[in-house]
Amino acid sequence: MSNAVDTAFATLMGLVGRYSPSGQEEEAVAFLVRRFAELGYTHAYRDAAGNAVSVMGEGPRQIVLLGHVDTVPGEIPVRVETLPGEGEVLFGRGSVDAKGPLAAFTDAVAAVGPRPGWQFVVIGAVDEERESRGARFVAQQEGYRPAFAIIGEPSRWHRVTLGYKGSAWARVRVTRSLAHTAAREESAAEAAVAAWLRVRQMAETFNTERPRAFEQLQPTLRGLASGGDGFTEWAELTVGCRLPLDVPPDDWYARLREALPDAEVQPQGYPIPAYVSDKRNALVRAFLQAIRAVGGRPGFVRKTGTADLNIVAPVWGCPAVAYGPGDSRLDHTPEEHLPLEEYARAVAVLREVLVRLTKESASGKAF
């Protein structure tokens, strides 16, 4: 790789080059705070939750660009290769999900610089791949009341993500009196298997008239354990579910309990409702115009996963979308890689978006 290319992608290379699975983000956060300072941000620091935070400008109106610095486990050797149809690509864990989008935020804001009447806040949150501790902390802080919010997740450079499904986890436990193996009584393990099959059937029935995955219940069995004390035996299932917009977590838990009257259903972790942004606002218009200006044909997408957008957007109540370079089909895979040309286009789009949004303040007119 040439020195010029290395310099142009220094933020991206530096972030991806620091392996940071959830719970081990310190080195990547420290790099990002240093990088903010090098790029001329007004403020750069690590907050009480461990997030990397920067501010560009001092104006009263705020645009928050929230990415995440952590990744799933599984280190991938960081390298640049040339692939047919993609050109130079960067391999490395997080290149797509989601250090690429976070680095693009960082470089775009640095390129735009301070804008009259505005401040840009770029945050590299921790723990997004587990329980979103970083984003939950940010959502609770009074200092963040943005006019617009952009969440860093891969959507390809020419697409904007409007929404994500919700998610909910539960522990399902069944118990039985211990019986001799020659007896015909159902074992706890058998009861647990039957319970899971009822959950699947319940979801399939719900989904009958819903051909789109975004509108469906999507349960998954993520764990199974069993044991006993010589008198009783038990079996536990760990069940997760991706939720559509019209099934909030409390509704899902009620459906589980109705389907499994003989089991104990215990919610686990942090249930998250689905979220979908309105397309009719200045933020979405700015993205459509910016993508066209950079030479793309814009599109929208709704994703079946869950992201920090679900957490902060309902709290902030402002126009909010997710955006970033990268093919989300490569998320969490051994082949995770990001074309450098796509990264550069995403930075250009973000620059256009930020300039267009902040023109309104400078001119007193909507663009």
Whether residues 23 and 119 fall in one domain: yes
Whether residues 278 and 268 fall in one domain: no
Whether residues 306 and 255 fall in one domain: no
Whether residues 103 and 13 fall in one domain: yes
Q: Supply the pLDDT for residue 101.
A: 98
User: Distance between the two ends of the chain, CA-based, in angstroms?
Assistant: 40
Does residue 364 have a pLDDT over 60? no
Q: Supply the pLDDT for residue 230.
A: 81
| Longest alpha-carbon distance in the chain | 83
Q: Are strands 61-68 and 148-152 parallel, antiparallel or unpaired?
A: parallel
Whether residues 42 and 71 fall in one domain: yes
Average pLDDT, the chain: 94
Q: For residue range 45-63, what is the model confidence (pLDDT) as tens digits?
A: 999 999 999 999 999 999 9
The position carrying tokens 């775009």 is 108
The DSSP 8-state label assigned to residue 165 in this structure reads -
3-state secondary structure of 101: helix
Residue 202 pLDDT grade (very low, low, confident, very high; cuts 50, 70, 90): very high
Q: Supply the pLDDT for residue 317.
A: 97
Q: What is the mean pLDDT of residues 158-185?
A: 86
Domain boundary among 272, 292, 322: 272
Percent of the chain with pLDDT over 90: 91
Whether residues 104 and 30 fall in one domain: yes
Residue 6 pLDDT grade (very low, low, confident, very high; cuts 50, 70, 90): low
Task: Quote the CA–CA distance of 334 and 316 in Å, as a whole number.
Answer: 35
Contacts of 97 by beta carbon, 8 Å cutoff, 6+ apart: 71, 72, 153, 154, 326, 328, 330, 331, 332, 336
Task: Quote the CA–CA distance of 286 and 308 in Å, as a whole number.
Answer: 21
Domain boundary among 250, 272, 294: 272
Q: 303: which 2 tokens?
A: 């994703």
Whether residues 35 and 145 fall in one domain: yes
* Amino acid making up residue 112: V
Whether residues 146 and 284 fall in one domain: yes
Q: Supply the pLDDT for residue 268.
A: 96
Q: Which residues are catalytic?
A: 70, 128
Question: CA distances (Å), 146 to each of 1, 43, 302, 323, 354, in order?
Answer: 39, 17, 23, 17, 13
Q: What is the mean pLDDT of residues 288-307?
A: 97
Q: Supply the pLDDT for residue 264.
A: 97
Domain count, the chain: 2
Query: CB pairs under 8 A, 24+ apart, for 252-261?
Result: 252/168, 252/217, 253/168, 253/170, 255/202, 255/206, 256/170, 256/172, 256/199, 259/198, 259/199, 259/202, 260/172, 260/195, 260/198, 260/199
Whether residues 177 and 142 fall in one domain: no
CB atoms within 10 A of CB 140: 10
* CATH number of the domain encompassing residue 236: 3.30.70.360
The DSSP 8-state label assigned to residue 317 in this structure reads -
Does residue 302 have a pLDDT over 60? yes
Domain that holds residue 256: 166-272
Domain boundary among 222, 249, 272: 272
Taking Cα atoms as reference points, which of 3, 2, 8, 7 lies closest to residue 343? 8
Percent of the chain with pLDDT over 70: 95
Q: For residue range 85-136, what is the model confidence (pLDDT) as tens digits?
A: 999 999 999 999 999 999 999 999 999 999 999 999 999 999 999 999 999 9
